[in-house]
């Protein structure tokens, strides 16, 4: 099968890109001719990244049997596609809707627009989300499990070295890409309570928001009680993120789905404290109640002090069983084949 992906070329900067790249890489391993067109506008065939290549605009418009869209491209290109398109629903239904409702985005409305276009089908990477998408999409939406590259993210990678005042015990990581419902606000309150019990603890915060340049510094200064030794490293996107995950004792996240940070962390063998209802870790609590979330952090840390190696092995074993990209692509290909067979049948009926 020839598959044309629409994907923003943003190596080491976007979980959406990394997931899409992993899928394309595995499609190639499974014998398909899979390439991507850079939705950021570099329409040539010389973008190469870890076994995955881009395509020219002419190849993209002429060759694929089917298209897989991770991010939309410009309308002039989209209008020239005559074959089926499967939109990967990378965002949560709520965050996609909230982006439109509160940030004047057009993400959710774009999904609604695509629903009126018979070329489009949809694929979710999380079963829980199907309860939100099915009422809108019916049988046009399918499911494939989320994945992570288990070779790149593994327990044997070299850990990052925290230095000076940023080195703590434990070292805790907040590494979610900041969104409306994925901010460190609540968890910083939990950390405040946690640090009163473990004074040497540090929390390292990455993927920081570049907007609200006065709000966040003022909040952090106040919540850490004007003490320099509260925070560890505070940075944006970094290319050596796996090494940072490896160097931390555990990860905290306000998410319950198998988001990128959860998949990467467990694959590396780093335990996760997540939102109540997350089935991927035993350490969960409602982060809207900071003291409850703090208690989950305490439980995780105390267990790590007793059996760090066995906990790390359990995390890795779980990732191998649940986040294997081979399974993801196998399910994706089944869905693409179903879409192609349905479109052929539909086109035959319309001709008759």
pLDDT (tens digit per residue) in 14-65: 889 999 999 999 999 999 999 999 999 999 999 999 999 999 999 999 999 9
Instruction: Answer whether residue 319 shows pLDDT above 90.
Output: yes
pLDDT at 229 over 80: no
The per-residue DSSP string of 99-138 comes to: HHHHH---HHHHHHHHHTSTTEEEEES-HHHHHHHHHHHG
Q: Which of 6, 2, 5 is nearest to 64 (CA)?
A: 2
Rounded to whole angstroms, how far apart are CA atoms 154 and 152? 6
* Pairwise CA distance, residues 222 & 214, whole Å: 12
Instruction: Give the pLDDT confidence of 90-101 residue by residue, as tens digits.
Output: 989 999 999 899
**What is the spatial distance between Cα 28 and Cα 242, in angstroms, rounded to a whole number?**
24
CB hemisphere CA count around 238 (13 angstroms): 18
pLDDT at 209: 78
Exposure of 279 in the CB half-sphere (CA atoms within 13 A): 4
Detail the DSSP E strand segments found in 118-261: 120-124, 141-143, 171-174, 202-205, 231-234, 250-252
Integer Cα distance of 325 and 306 in angstroms:
32
Question: Model-level pTM greater than 0.85?
Answer: yes
- Least confident residue range of 10-14, 64-68, 82-86, 242-246: 10-14
Summarize pLDDT for 187-202 with one digit per residue, the tens.
999 999 999 999 999 9
Average pLDDT, the chain: 93
């Amino acid at each position: 099968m020839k598959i044309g992906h629409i994907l923003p070329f943003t190596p080491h900067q976007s979980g959406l890109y990394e997931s899409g790249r992993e899928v394309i890489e595995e499609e190639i391993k499974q014998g398909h001719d899979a390439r991507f067109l850079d939705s950021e506008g570099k329409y040539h065939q010389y973008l190469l990244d870890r076994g995955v290549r881009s395509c020219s605009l002419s190849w993209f418009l002429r060759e694929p049997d089917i298209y897989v869209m991770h991010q939309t491209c410009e309308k002039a290109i989209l209008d020239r596609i005559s074959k089926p398109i499967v939109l990967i629903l990378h965002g949560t239904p709520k965050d996609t809707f909230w982006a439109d409702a509160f940030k004047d985005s057009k993400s959710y409305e774009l999904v609604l627009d695509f629903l009126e276009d018979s070329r489009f089908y949809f694929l979710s990477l999380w079963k829980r989300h199907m309860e939100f998408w099915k009422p809108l999409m019916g049988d046009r939406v399918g499911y494939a499990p989320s994945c992570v590259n288990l070779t790149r993210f593994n327990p044997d990678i070299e850990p990052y070295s925290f230095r000076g005042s940023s080195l703590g015990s434990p070292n805790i990581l907040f590494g979610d890409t900041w969104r409306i419902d994925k901010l460190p606000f609540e968890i910083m309150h939990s950390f405040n309570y946690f640090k009163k019990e473990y004074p040497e603890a540090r929390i390292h915060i990455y993927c920081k928001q570049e907007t609200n340049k006065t709000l966040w510094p003022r909040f952090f200064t106040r919540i850490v009680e004007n003490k320099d030794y509260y925070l560890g490293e505070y940075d944006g996107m970094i290319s050596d993120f796996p090494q940072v995950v490896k160097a931390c004792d555990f990860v905290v996240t306000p998410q319950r789905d198998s988001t990128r940070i959860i998949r990467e962390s467990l694959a590396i063998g780093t335990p996760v404290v997540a939102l109540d209802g997350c089935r991927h870790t035993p350490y969960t609590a409602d982060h809207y109640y900071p003291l409850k979330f703090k208690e989950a952090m305490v439980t995780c840390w105390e267990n790590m002090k007793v059996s760090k190696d066995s906990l790390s092995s359990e995390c890795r074993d779980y990732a191998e069983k649940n986040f294997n990209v081979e399974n993801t692509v196998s399910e994706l290909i089944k869905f693409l084949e179903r879409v192609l067979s349905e479109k052929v049948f539909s086109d035959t009926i319309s001709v008759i």
